[in-house]
Amino acid sequence: MKRPWSRPLGLAATLLLVARLAVAGTAASGHETLSKPHASAFRGPDAPVSPIGKEAGFTATPTNIPSQPVTGYRLPPDKYRRAVAYSRARYRLYFASVAWELLILLVLVQRRVGVRLRDLAERVSQRRFLQAAVVTPLLLTIIGVLELPADAYGHWLALNYQQSVQGWASWLWDWSKGGLLALLLAVFLAWMLYGIVRRSPRRWWFYFWLAVIPVIVFLMFIQPLVLEPLFFRFEPLERSNPALVAEIGKVVRRAGMEIPPSRMFEMKASEKTRELNAYVTGLGASKRVVVWDTTIARMTLPQVLLVFGHEMGHYVLGHLWKGMLFAVGGLFLAFYLAYRAVNWVLARWGAGMRGASDWASLPLLLWILCFLSFVASPVFNGYRRYLEHQADVYSLEVTHGVVPNNQQVDAQTFQILGEVDLSDPSPSRFIEFWLYSHPSISERIDFALHYDPWSKGGKPQFVR
């Protein structure tokens, strides 16, 4: 349940778009989630849903039990104003951050910073890997430091609107860890890229694309095992909430699937945030469903089951693989366009760059890829909205007959998510088109209340 939207790039994502696709799940990133427009949420039945207390073995203490049936996304006047103000501030920050990043990279190209870094690297060593280890960290550190004010403002907004409880020291430490991971990845990628460019000036974009695919797969595999634990604590859900695991088992059996308890985890999100979320992460042996402890604490058992049903939809329908393949296809086009654009710029304005294989061209390449990432955002987000809608459908189908009045429970769950996370009650069509990776809360509640193929003589799409 992450934000419906996020910046297209960050320090990790800046280098060659690869980190955006492969590391976008560490400190401040999105996964295949259930919630807002880059992620979203839920709320419950015609009669109030009774919370499941500790006497039943379920440790949640829900605080958002509606007194009336949910008929649409509604917020009290004060919270409505706060949700609108917070969302609009985040939208402005998004576009300002992209513009600022493009401006930074343009100035670095015009001021020939890449040329200076190349000259420094060549004085240090004639070995290409050592040169990569000089140019890449220095360049990305400059970019990261200049972007730090925008990142810090984003955290200030989260604190000011009570979305985060993470102190500044902890936030800066996470920011530093994310940056260090990005630098380590970037050195390897830059060394590999420029080695390929030197050997194949005309086909480097294709060979580099081929080389990047296993890197992405590897990073997605180790993400839940190595990367995510650097930022949050995780505990097997069977240990923290065995009663919840038992109830989840009913939903899993309803789907005719088998998701072992060893693949279910609780994330201690409450140590840093008040937001609600759940997501699917990993590949193969590392694939798992993760539910945030904030979600368990704020929702009733039926509502949590709807949340899990959504995440199981991602799990069962193979959305991680599909999303990765879609992104890899996008990289193919991005690298080709970058190849054409770099050659076009160098032919008309070299600015001290010896060619595409010169380290000095890295700021130019990053500018091109940053721009391509920005303009491609609506395409990628549109595909993600399609996958999220499928998961919403799956959740309603797999809980049908298991959770009483599951349509209203689903609507209640989204209502809770909207209230807690201050989701925008009425985003513009442009904002949804450009930024939202999930359908809006209003759309999801409306769909939950009206999707009922069983009473209309139709057939469910996924669970029959």
pLDDT grade, residue 66 (50/70/90)?
A: low
- Say what the pTM is: 0.88
pLDDT grade, residue 457 (50/70/90)?
A: confident
* Catalytic residue flag (residue 228): no
* 8 A C-beta contact, residue 39 and residue 50: no
For the stretch 245-273, pLDDT in tens is: 999 999 999 888 888 999 999 999 999 99
Which comes out higher in pLDDT, residue 430 or 348?
A: 430
Residue 361's pLDDT is: 95
Name the percent of the chain lying above pLDDT 90. 75
Q: Is residue 67 part of a domain?
A: yes
Residue 1's pLDDT is: 40
Q: Is residue 464 part of a domain?
A: no
Q: Is residue 245 part of a domain?
A: yes
Q: Which of 68-72, 129-133, 233-237 has the lowest mean pLDDT?
A: 68-72
Q: How far is CA 273 from CA 28, 139, 232, 416, 420, in A?
A: 11, 31, 11, 16, 11
Q: Is residue 5 part of a domain?
A: no
Q: Is residue 1 part of a domain?
A: no
Q: Which of 15-19, 214-218, 260-264, 354-358 has the lowest mean pLDDT?
A: 15-19
The structure tokens 């939207």 sit at 5
d(CA 384, CA 364): 29
DSSP conformational letter for 59: -
* 8 A C-beta contact, residue 11 and residue 393: no
* DSSP character string of 208-238: HHHHHHHHHHHHHHHIIIIIGGGTS-EEEHH
Mean pLDDT confidence for 404-421: 96
Residue 78's pLDDT is: 96
Q: Which two tokens stand for residue 193?
A: 């890229």
Query: Which is catalytic among the residues 147, 311, 397, 419?
Result: 311
Residue 23 pLDDT > 60, yes or no? no
Residue 154 pLDDT > 70, yes or no? yes
φ, ψ dihedrals at 361, nearest 5° = -80, -5
Residue 43's pLDDT is: 25
Classify each residue of 148-162 as buried b or exposed e, where b means 16 or more C-beta atoms within 10 Å of its C-beta: eebbeebbebbeebe
Q: Is residue 2 part of a domain?
A: no
* 8 A C-beta contact, residue 155 and residue 164: yes
Classify each residue of 401-417 as buried b or exposed e, where b means 16 or more C-beta atoms within 10 Å of its C-beta: ebbebbbbbbbbbbbbb
Half-sphere exposure of 45 (CA within 13 A, CB side): 14
Q: Which two tokens stand for residue 78?
A: 């004060």
H or E, element range at 401 = none
What does the chain come to in residues? Answer: 464
For the stretch 26-35, pLDDT in tens is: 333 334 444 4
Total structural domains within the chain: 1
| Host domain of residue 92 | 11-450
d(CA 68, CA 70): 6
d(CA 269, CA 291): 9
Cβ-count burial of 167 within 10 angstroms (0-12 exposed, 13-18 middle, 19+ buried)?
A: exposed
pLDDT grade, residue 68 (50/70/90)?
A: confident
Name the percent of the chain lying above pLDDT 70. 86
N- to C-terminal Cα separation, the chain? 26
Mean pLDDT confidence for 385-394: 97
Q: Which of 44-48, 75-79, 91-95 has the lowest mean pLDDT?
A: 44-48
pLDDT grade, residue 349 (50/70/90)?
A: confident
Q: Is residue 333 part of a domain?
A: yes
Which amino acid, one-letter code, is at 271? E
**Average pLDDT score, the chain:** 86
φ, ψ dihedrals at 73, nearest 5° = -75, 110
Q: Tell me the β-bridge partners of 291.
A: 266, 278
Q: How far is CA 58 from CA 215, 247, 299, 358, 389, in A?
A: 40, 10, 11, 60, 29
For residue 135, which of 205, 201, 191, 209 has the smallest C-alpha distance? Answer: 191
